[in-house]
Amino acid sequence: MGISDGIKTATIEGNRDKTLLLIGQALDAGMQPGDIIQEGLIAGMTVVGERFKSGEIYVPEMLIAARAMKAGLEKLRPLLVGKTVDSLATVVLGTVKGDLHDIGKNLVAIMLEGAGCKVVDIGVDAPPDRFIGAIREHRPEFVGISALLTTTLPTMRETIAAFETAGIRKSVKVLVGGAPVTQKFADEIGADGYAGNAAEVADKIRSLK
Protein backbone atom coordinates (compact mmCIF):
# COMPACT_ATOMS: atom_id res chain seq x y z
CA MET A 1 0.00 0.00 0.00
CA GLY A 2 1.38 3.43 -0.98
CA ILE A 3 1.79 6.17 1.58
CA SER A 4 -1.17 8.21 0.25
CA ASP A 5 -3.35 5.11 0.51
CA GLY A 6 -2.19 4.81 4.11
CA ILE A 7 -3.20 8.42 4.83
CA LYS A 8 -6.53 7.82 3.09
CA THR A 9 -7.21 4.73 5.22
CA ALA A 10 -6.13 6.45 8.45
CA THR A 11 -8.51 9.35 7.64
CA ILE A 12 -11.40 6.97 6.93
CA GLU A 13 -10.69 5.20 10.23
CA GLY A 14 -10.49 8.56 12.00
CA ASN A 15 -7.09 7.59 13.33
CA ARG A 16 -5.65 11.03 14.03
CA ASP A 17 -2.24 9.89 15.29
CA LYS A 18 -1.67 7.57 12.35
CA THR A 19 -2.80 10.26 9.90
CA LEU A 20 -0.24 12.67 11.37
CA LEU A 21 2.50 10.06 11.48
CA LEU A 22 2.00 9.07 7.85
CA ILE A 23 1.84 12.71 6.73
CA GLY A 24 5.23 13.19 8.39
CA GLN A 25 6.58 10.18 6.53
CA ALA A 26 5.10 11.37 3.23
CA LEU A 27 6.77 14.77 3.66
CA ASP A 28 10.08 13.11 4.52
CA ALA A 29 9.73 11.08 1.33
CA GLY A 30 9.37 14.33 -0.64
CA MET A 31 5.62 14.21 -1.32
CA GLN A 32 4.04 17.61 -2.02
CA PRO A 33 1.54 18.91 0.60
CA GLY A 34 -1.09 19.49 -2.12
CA ASP A 35 -0.82 15.86 -3.23
CA ILE A 36 -1.07 14.64 0.36
CA ILE A 37 -4.32 16.62 0.75
CA GLN A 38 -5.75 15.47 -2.57
CA GLU A 39 -4.68 11.82 -2.68
CA GLY A 40 -4.77 11.16 1.06
CA LEU A 41 -7.08 13.39 3.09
CA ILE A 42 -9.72 14.36 0.50
CA ALA A 43 -9.71 10.84 -1.00
CA GLY A 44 -10.40 9.50 2.50
CA MET A 45 -13.20 11.98 3.16
CA THR A 46 -14.82 11.09 -0.16
CA VAL A 47 -15.06 7.46 0.98
CA VAL A 48 -16.43 8.60 4.36
CA GLY A 49 -19.16 10.57 2.54
CA GLU A 50 -20.06 7.57 0.39
CA ARG A 51 -20.24 5.27 3.41
CA PHE A 52 -22.43 7.74 5.27
CA LYS A 53 -24.75 8.03 2.29
CA SER A 54 -25.13 4.27 2.03
CA GLY A 55 -25.87 3.97 5.76
CA GLU A 56 -22.67 2.05 6.48
CA ILE A 57 -21.49 4.67 9.01
CA TYR A 58 -23.19 7.41 11.03
CA VAL A 59 -22.50 11.01 12.13
CA PRO A 60 -20.07 10.09 14.97
CA GLU A 61 -17.77 8.20 12.56
CA MET A 62 -17.97 11.13 10.15
CA LEU A 63 -16.98 13.48 12.97
CA ILE A 64 -14.02 11.36 14.00
CA ALA A 65 -12.79 11.21 10.39
CA ALA A 66 -13.23 14.99 10.16
CA ARG A 67 -11.08 15.41 13.27
CA ALA A 68 -8.28 13.36 11.70
CA MET A 69 -8.51 15.36 8.49
CA LYS A 70 -8.47 18.69 10.34
CA ALA A 71 -5.37 17.66 12.30
CA GLY A 72 -3.69 16.69 9.02
CA LEU A 73 -4.59 20.02 7.40
CA GLU A 74 -3.23 21.94 10.40
CA LYS A 75 0.06 20.05 10.14
CA LEU A 76 0.31 20.97 6.45
CA ARG A 77 -0.90 24.57 6.87
CA PRO A 78 2.55 26.16 7.51
CA LEU A 79 3.93 24.48 4.40
CA LEU A 80 1.08 25.76 2.24
CA VAL A 81 0.87 29.25 3.66
CA GLY A 82 4.61 30.01 3.81
CA LYS A 83 5.80 33.54 4.39
CA THR A 84 3.63 35.54 2.05
CA VAL A 85 2.70 39.18 2.51
CA ASP A 86 -1.02 39.92 2.75
CA SER A 87 -1.12 41.81 -0.50
CA LEU A 88 -3.57 40.16 -2.87
CA ALA A 89 -6.85 41.01 -1.12
CA THR A 90 -8.75 40.90 2.14
CA VAL A 91 -11.40 38.18 2.21
CA VAL A 92 -14.15 37.63 4.76
CA LEU A 93 -14.89 33.92 4.71
CA GLY A 94 -17.57 31.85 6.40
CA THR A 95 -19.90 28.86 6.18
CA VAL A 96 -23.51 29.88 5.74
CA LYS A 97 -26.11 29.80 8.53
CA GLY A 98 -27.41 26.32 9.33
CA ASP A 99 -24.27 24.63 8.00
CA LEU A 100 -21.57 23.28 10.31
CA HIS A 101 -19.13 21.95 7.68
CA ASP A 102 -15.85 23.81 7.85
CA ILE A 103 -13.10 21.59 6.45
CA GLY A 104 -13.56 22.87 2.88
CA LYS A 105 -13.75 26.45 4.13
CA ASN A 106 -10.59 25.98 6.18
CA LEU A 107 -8.83 24.61 3.13
CA VAL A 108 -10.00 27.64 1.13
CA ALA A 109 -8.57 29.87 3.91
CA ILE A 110 -5.22 28.07 3.79
CA MET A 111 -4.98 28.33 0.00
CA LEU A 112 -5.95 32.03 0.08
CA GLU A 113 -3.39 32.81 2.78
CA GLY A 114 -0.84 30.92 0.70
CA ALA A 115 -1.71 33.14 -2.26
CA GLY A 116 -1.17 36.29 -0.18
CA CYS A 117 -4.69 37.13 1.00
CA LYS A 118 -5.63 38.37 4.44
CA VAL A 119 -8.45 36.05 5.54
CA VAL A 120 -11.01 37.02 8.15
CA ASP A 121 -12.62 33.69 9.07
CA ILE A 122 -16.05 34.20 10.63
CA GLY A 123 -16.60 30.49 11.25
CA VAL A 124 -19.52 28.17 10.60
CA ASP A 125 -23.29 28.63 10.93
CA ALA A 126 -22.72 32.31 10.11
CA PRO A 127 -25.94 34.36 9.85
CA PRO A 128 -26.07 37.26 7.36
CA ASP A 129 -25.52 39.76 10.18
CA ARG A 130 -22.17 38.19 11.06
CA PHE A 131 -21.03 38.56 7.44
CA ILE A 132 -22.33 42.14 7.35
CA GLY A 133 -20.60 43.04 10.64
CA ALA A 134 -17.30 41.63 9.38
CA ILE A 135 -17.63 43.48 6.06
CA ARG A 136 -18.26 46.78 7.88
CA GLU A 137 -15.36 46.16 10.25
CA HIS A 138 -12.71 44.82 7.85
CA ARG A 139 -13.71 46.47 4.53
CA PRO A 140 -12.71 43.43 2.44
CA GLU A 141 -12.63 43.42 -1.35
CA PHE A 142 -14.10 39.88 -1.32
CA VAL A 143 -16.53 37.77 0.68
CA GLY A 144 -16.43 33.98 0.39
CA ILE A 145 -19.50 31.95 1.34
CA SER A 146 -19.28 28.19 1.70
CA ALA A 147 -22.18 25.70 1.85
CA LEU A 148 -22.07 21.91 1.94
CA LEU A 149 -25.74 21.06 2.28
CA THR A 150 -28.43 21.34 -0.37
CA THR A 151 -30.69 22.57 2.45
CA THR A 152 -28.43 25.57 3.11
CA LEU A 153 -28.25 26.70 -0.53
CA PRO A 154 -31.32 28.97 -0.14
CA THR A 155 -29.59 30.61 2.84
CA MET A 156 -26.70 31.52 0.55
CA ARG A 157 -29.18 33.41 -1.62
CA GLU A 158 -30.69 35.09 1.47
CA THR A 159 -27.23 36.10 2.67
CA ILE A 160 -26.47 37.92 -0.59
CA ALA A 161 -29.94 39.52 -0.49
CA ALA A 162 -29.19 40.73 3.05
CA PHE A 163 -26.04 42.46 1.74
CA GLU A 164 -28.29 44.38 -0.69
CA THR A 165 -30.70 45.36 2.08
CA ALA A 166 -27.80 46.51 4.26
CA GLY A 167 -26.54 48.68 1.38
CA ILE A 168 -23.12 47.00 1.21
CA ARG A 169 -23.57 44.68 -1.78
CA LYS A 170 -21.71 46.96 -4.20
CA SER A 171 -18.75 47.36 -1.85
CA VAL A 172 -17.68 43.69 -2.10
CA LYS A 173 -17.36 40.92 -4.65
CA VAL A 174 -19.09 37.75 -3.49
CA LEU A 175 -17.59 34.32 -4.21
CA VAL A 176 -19.53 31.15 -3.47
CA GLY A 177 -18.52 27.51 -3.35
CA GLY A 178 -18.96 24.14 -1.70
CA ALA A 179 -19.99 20.71 -2.95
CA PRO A 180 -23.64 21.44 -3.94
CA VAL A 181 -22.87 24.88 -5.45
CA THR A 182 -22.63 25.24 -9.23
CA GLN A 183 -21.77 28.10 -11.58
CA LYS A 184 -25.45 28.14 -12.65
CA PHE A 185 -26.61 28.53 -9.04
CA ALA A 186 -23.98 31.20 -8.40
CA ASP A 187 -25.32 33.16 -11.40
CA GLU A 188 -28.92 32.72 -10.23
CA ILE A 189 -28.26 34.16 -6.78
CA GLY A 190 -26.23 37.08 -8.12
CA ALA A 191 -22.78 36.04 -6.86
CA ASP A 192 -19.80 37.58 -8.62
CA GLY A 193 -17.89 34.33 -8.83
CA TYR A 194 -17.90 30.60 -8.23
CA ALA A 195 -14.98 28.29 -7.53
CA GLY A 196 -15.22 24.51 -7.63
CA ASN A 197 -12.33 23.86 -5.28
CA ALA A 198 -10.04 25.58 -2.80
CA ALA A 199 -7.22 26.06 -5.28
CA GLU A 200 -9.49 27.86 -7.76
CA VAL A 201 -10.59 30.55 -5.31
CA ALA A 202 -7.33 32.51 -5.47
CA ASP A 203 -7.40 32.37 -9.30
CA LYS A 204 -10.94 33.70 -9.22
CA ILE A 205 -9.87 36.57 -6.96
CA ARG A 206 -6.99 37.44 -9.27
CA SER A 207 -9.32 37.47 -12.28
CA LEU A 208 -11.98 39.59 -10.55
CA LYS A 209 -9.65 42.19 -9.02
DSSP string, 115-175: TT-EEEE--SSB-HHHHHHHHHHH--SEEEEE---GGGHHHHHHHHHHHHHTT-GGGSEEE
Nearer to ligand B1M, 22 or 142 (CB): 142
- Based on the shown chain and the rule CB under 6 A, indicate whether residue 175 belongs to the binding site for ligand B1M: yes
CA distance 111 to 199: 6
Cα–Cα nearest to 42, from 11, 13, 15, 20: 11
- Based on the shown chain and the rule CB under 6 A, indicate whether residue 105 belongs to the binding site for ligand B1M: yes
Identify the DSSP state of 39. Answer: I
CB of 150 to ligand B1M, least distance (A): 4
Q: Are 88 and 57 in contact (CB under 8 A)?
A: no
H or E stretch including 177?
A: strand 173-177
- Based on the shown chain and the rule CB under 6 A, indicate whether residue 88 belongs to the binding site for ligand B1M: no
Nearer to ligand B1M, 26 or 93 (CB): 93
Contact letters for ligand B1M, residues 37-76 (x by CB under 6 A): -----x--xx-xx--xx-----x--xx--x----------
Instruction: Residue 1: count other Cβ atoms within 10 Å of its Cβ.
Output: 7
Nearer to ligand B1M, 26 or 97 (CB): 97
Looking at 57, 68, 76, 198, which residue binds ligand B1M (CB under 6 A)?
198
Looking at 103, 115, 122, 205, which residue binds ligand B1M (CB under 6 A)?
103
CB of 174 to ligand B1M, least distance (A): 9
CA distance 123 to 135: 14
Distance of CA 90 to the CA centre of its chain: 16
- Based on the shown chain and the rule CB under 6 A, indicate whether residue 7 belongs to the binding site for ligand B1M: no
Contact letters for ligand B1M, residues 135-154 (x by CB under 6 A): ---------xxx-xxxx---
CA distance 182 to 72: 28
Binding region for ligand B1M (CB under 6 A)? 42, 45-46, 48-49, 52-53, 59, 62-63, 66, 98-105, 107-108, 144-146, 148-151, 175-180, 195, 197-198, 201
